[in-house]
Structure 1
Amino acid sequence: MLISRRGMFLLALATSAAIAGRSALAAPKVRIGILKFGTVSWEIDTIRHNNFDTANGIDLDVGYFAGEEATNVGLLAGALDIIVTDWLWVSRQRSEGGDLTLVPYSTAVGAIMVKQGSPIHTIGDLKDRKLGVAGGALDKSWLLVQAMARRDHGIDLSAESEVVYGAPPLLSEKARQGELDAVLNYWHFCARLEADGFRRLISVEDAEKALGASGPVSAVGYVFHEKWANENPQAARGFVKASAEAKKLLAKSDEAWLRLAPIMRAEGKELEKLRDRYREGIPARPATEDAEDAAKLYQVLAGIGGEKLVGKAPMMAPGTFWPKILK
């Protein structure tokens, strides 16, 4: 079929208009950096599998990293839009002039775990025992547990127990082998230990409440630059909504967890424990209450960890929790 010059011109014009229209309607890209085998990957995979990202007008671009430090650097360098980390780091960055802010991701926290038949039943029983601690001497969970033990039980765990610091999976294995009397580990490692016959001696949430929190406090959150959120409101809001939809599905659907089982490398009782502990950690109260309690715990942590932990700011920086979710 022959097309006149005028017809070719009109066709080209229509094609250009269609391309321009598609470009105008293209969903904004949101670059998120996560740990390849971290728990956040479960939620992100759920978002993508169920198209919660496209349904909320965003194009989610996921980058996988080997360590948290790499995601922190990526966010600060502008190579990522969102990462997951804790409010201590966010507050420190803000107190030093940055504009990072946080949306609560999970209140799931770790615990001190002992074997089911262990003679250790109270904090006092940890005296002269070998205690494994994940995260290092300045890990906020460890500092909170120490603060509670010192104030409520008159025990200095760091001085009266034999403390061994190490990587979470290594400490869990040492506990299974009986080389540690107890272990303070991250929540998902604790859930796997529960499936292996361990019990909780005390959880970090117990310590939080003992130190003034009125409810479960988000341990970590989705973190981004406030400037990015202000300049890309559709992207920021769309991601928060997609995350909420994924959480809602994971809160009620056991089938969604069965689909995730290969990614989680868990099955049977272990999968159920991880599922149940994740669900317990879904933030369920107003973000204003979460932020208020985080601020209380910040002061406790600042008093223990000092400048090495929080820098020169004795109080949590305003704006640490995204102001737009506090309204």
Structure 2
Amino acid sequence: MIPSFRSHGRLVVVLLTALVFSASLGAASALETVRVGVLKFGTVNWELDAMKEAGLDRSAGVDVEIVPFAGEDASNVALQAGDVDVIVSDWLWVSRLRTDGADYTFVPYSSSVGAIMVPQDSALRSLGDLKGRKLGVAGGPLDKSWLLIQGLARRDHGVDLAAENDIVYGAPPLLSEKARQGELDAVLNYWHYNARLEAKGFRSLVGADEAARALGASGPVSALGWVFPERWADAHPQAARGFVEASRATKALLASSDAAWERLAPLVRAEGAELLALRDRYRDGIPRRPAAEEEADARLLHGVLAELGGEKLVGRSAAMAPGTYWPRLVGGF
């Protein structure tokens, strides 16, 4: 008996469905999973959310799995335990661990750093004007931005900010609120809190990036980077490279697309002028320099910070450990 046209049609549909399903399974199996540990409410989520929404991880041959943590210490421990592949941290932390024998390495993520913010109508115009004032500082006494700004104030104005001021250390949101209420003359806070203050009528008195350049850096240096074990990158070269490429592509998207930021507004928890300030400050921090240039400046700043913060900050070595910046990135893929 000869099968009817309808029977042939059903058979063709079944075969095509099977082929499509098989192809999709093959594509999915070709993707390497990269587990990224992030703070549950951190700004890194903005980039990863945009990456996943646009499918830029899959375009780069990886499937990014976002693993949230309640605090920075928890994500650091997870990386060291092998529970995640990548986190965001700073090159000082990487260098300290490499000095102690670990193999973590760093890829620039953002050069957005802290700054001292004052109300728009404040009489304060320079670091020298801060002498004797009440200053809020996020991050604690060994915060890199705080140390660099102290170094610049001491060199250029002869002012010891830590000794000659009323310093209030505290949590970033609390300090921002105290600044808005007029309880502080100035506040040194992280970039995204400063962006929100900017939208409320504050201005930057001096940024840690300005201090870094004044102390010898030739350009922007990423304070934060993607951090992963070098042995993981060696064992999974396509995953490591694909993730870095996906991050670059996402930054390019967020640098050019205002619509992408509008979509992120609920996650960012901002709208209007505040969302625009956060967008612009994020864009300012996108790394654009060759990694080798950044690495050279980071080495210089490591030496400056070793003098300012000592072993408590940089660990046993005053010099940045070799391999702190991912060698493959520095040398080119």
TM-score normalised to structure 2 length: 0.91
Aligned to 1:203: 207
Size of the alignment, in residue pairs? 311
1:83 Cα deviation from its structure 2 partner: 0.1
Q: Which residue of 1 aligns with 2:251?
A: 247
Which residue identity does 1:227 align to in structure 2? R
SS at match of 2:183: coil
Which residue number in structure 2 is paired with residue 10 of structure 1?
none
Whether 2:14 is the aligned partner of 1:30: answer no
2:59 counterpart (55, 62, 83): 55
Deviation track 1:274-301 (CA, whole Å, cap 9, x = no partner) reads: 0001001001111101010011000010
Report the secondary structure of 2:205's partner residue: strand
Q: Does 1:70 align with 2:74?
A: yes
> Please, which runs of 5 or more residues in structure 1 have no aligned partner?
1-13
- CA deviations on 1:98-123 (whole Å, 9 max, x unpaired) are 00001000111111000111121111
The yes-or-no answer on 1:213 pairing with 2:217 is yes
1:104-115 to 2 correspondences below 5 Å: 104-115=108-119
Q: Kindly tell me: are residues 215 and 24 of structure 1, through their superposed partners in 2, closer, same or farther at Cα, counting changes over 3 Å?
A: closer
Q: How far, CA to CA, are the matches of 1:197 and 1:244 in structure 2?
A: 32
Look up the equivalent residue of 1:98 and give its one-letter code.
A
Asked whether 1:265 is paired with 2:269, we answer yes
Give 1:26 deviation, angstroms: 3.3
- Taking only aligned residues, the RMSD between alpha carbons, in angstroms, comes to 1.5
Residue of structure 1 equivalent to 2:136: 132
For 2:199, the aligned partner's letter is A
AA matched with 1:254: D
Structure 1 segment 1-327 matched on structure 2, within 5 A? 22=26, 25-327=29-331
Structure 2 Cα separation of the partners of residues 193 and 137 of structure 1: 22
User: What is the match of residue 9 of structure 1?
Assistant: none
* 1:241-282 residue CA offsets vs partner (Å, 9 max, x unmatched): 100110000001000000000000000000000000100100
How far 1:23 sits from its partner (Å)? 9.0
Distance 1:216 1:106 in 2: 9
Identity of aligned residues (%): 63
Q: Which amino acid aligns with 1:262?
A: P
Aligned residue for 1:183, secondary structure, equals strand
What runs of 5+ residues in structure 2 fail to find an aligned partner?
1-17
Letter in 2 for 1:42: W
Question: Cα distance, 1:24 vs. partner?
Answer: 9.2
Q: Distance in 2 between matches of 1:121 and 1:191?
A: 19
Matched residue type, 1:100: Y
Please state whether the residue corresponding to 1:179 is helix, strand or coil. coil
Q: Distance in 2 between matches of 1:279 and 1:22?
A: 36
DSSP-derived class of the 1:235 partner: helix
SS in 2 for 1:193: helix
Task: Give the whole-Å Cα distance in 2 for the aligned partners of 1:153 and 1:222.
Answer: 36
- Aligned AA (2:52): R
Q: C-alpha deviations, 1:125-179, integer Å up to 9, x for none? A: 1111100000000011101100111111111000111111001000000000111
Q: Distance in 2 between matches of 1:290 and 1:190?
A: 24
Structure 1: how far apart are the matches of 2:157 and 2:129?
11
> Could you tell me how far apart the structure 2 residues matched to 1:269 and 1:23 are?
42
Moved over 6 A (4+): none
The 10-residue stretch of structure 1 (215-224 or 61-70) with the greater mean CA deviation from structure 2: 61-70
Letter in 2 for 1:163: I
Q: SS of the counterpart of 2:310?
A: helix
Distance 1:248 1:24, change over 3 A: closer
TM-fit CA distance, 1:25: 3.7
